[in-house]
Amino acid sequence: MKVGLVGLGSIGKRHIKNLVSLSKELEITEIRCYDRDCNRLESIASLQSDLISPKKDLANTVEDSEIAFVCVPTAFHLPVTEEIRAYNNQLHIYLEKPISHSLLGCEELVYKQIESGKVLAVGYMLPNHPLLKQIEEILKSNRLGKVLSVRAESGFYLPNWHPWENDQDFYMSSKYAGGGALLDSSHEINYLQWLFGDIVEVSGYLGTVSELKITSDDLALGILKFTNGIIGQLQLDLLQFEESRECKIIGENGILIADFAKNELRYYLNQYKEWTTLKLEIDFEDIYLTQIREFFKLCKGQKASLITGMQALKTMHVIEGIRRSHTYSTSVKLPLYS
DSSP-assigned letters across all residues of 94-138: EE-SSS-SSSTTHHHHHHHHHHHT--EEE---GGGSHHHHHHHHH
Question: Which of 110-124, 169-183, 224-238, 269-283 shows the lowest mean pLDDT across its residues?
Answer: 169-183
Average pLDDT over residues 123-131: 98
pLDDT digits (tens, 9 = 90+) for 164-189: 766 666 788 998 889 999 999 999 99
CA 154 to chain centre: 13
What does the mean pLDDT of the chain come to? 96
- Is the same domain home to 78 and 201? no
Question: Which of 15-24, 42-51, 272-281, 325-334 shows the lowest mean pLDDT across its residues?
Answer: 42-51
Q: What is the CATH number of the domain that holds 266?
A: 3.30.360.10
Q: What is the CATH number of the domain that holds 85?
A: 3.40.50.720
Picking from 101, 122, 143, the residue at the C-terminal end of a domain is: 122
- Is the same domain home to 114 and 183? no
Q: Which 3 state secondary structure label does DSSP give 49?
A: coil
If one counts the domains in the chain, the total is: 2
pLDDT digits (tens, 9 = 90+) for 90-110: 999 999 999 999 999 999 999
Greater confidence, 162 or 310? 310
In DSSP terms, which residues pair with 155 in a beta bridge? 237, 244
Please indicate, yes or no, if residue 292 is contained in any of the structural domains: no
- Is the same domain home to 142 and 21? no
pLDDT at 166: 66
Picking from 96, 122, 148, the residue at the C-terminal end of a domain is: 122
- Is the same domain home to 323 and 189? yes
Selection from 249, 250, 245 nearest residue 235 by Cα: 245
Domain residues for 36? 2-122
- Is the same domain home to 245 and 327? yes
Average pLDDT over residues 278-292: 97
- Is the same domain home to 159 and 88? no
- Is the same domain home to 107 and 145? no
Does the pLDDT value for residue 143 go beyond 70? yes
- Is the same domain home to 163 and 254? yes
pLDDT at 169: 67
Does the pLDDT value for residue 47 go beyond 90? no
pLDDT digits (tens, 9 = 90+) for 75-90: 999 999 999 999 999 9
pLDDT digits (tens, 9 = 90+) for 229-252: 999 999 999 999 999 999 999 999
- Dihedral (Cα; 314, 291, 98, 175), 10-degree rounding: 160
- Is the same domain home to 116 and 130? no
- Is the same domain home to 186 and 257? yes
Please indicate, yes or no, if residue 291 is contained in any of the structural domains: no
Does the pLDDT value for residue 223 go beyond 80? yes
Picking from 99, 122, 145, the residue at the C-terminal end of a domain is: 122
Q: What gap in Å lies between CA 111 and CA 22, rounded to an integer?
A: 30
DSSP-assigned letters across all residues of 164-225: TS-GGGSGGG-TTTT-SHHHHTTHHHHHHHHHH--EEEEEEEEE--SS---SS-SEEEEEEE
Confidence of residue 218 (pLDDT cuts 50, 70, 90): very high
Q: What gap in Å lies between CA 121 and CA 71, rounded to an integer?
A: 12
Q: Would strands 199-207 and 147-157 be described as parallel, antiparallel, or unpaired?
A: unpaired
Please indicate, yes or no, if residue 94 is contained in any of the structural domains: yes
- Is the same domain home to 99 and 136? no
Average pLDDT over residues 218-227: 99
Please indicate, yes or no, if residue 290 is contained in any of the structural domains: no
Please indicate, yes or no, if residue 99 is contained in any of the structural domains: yes
pLDDT at 168: 65
pLDDT at 167: 64
Determine if residue 153 is left, alpha or beta; phi over 0 gives left, psi from -120 to 50 gives alpha, anything else beta. Answer: beta
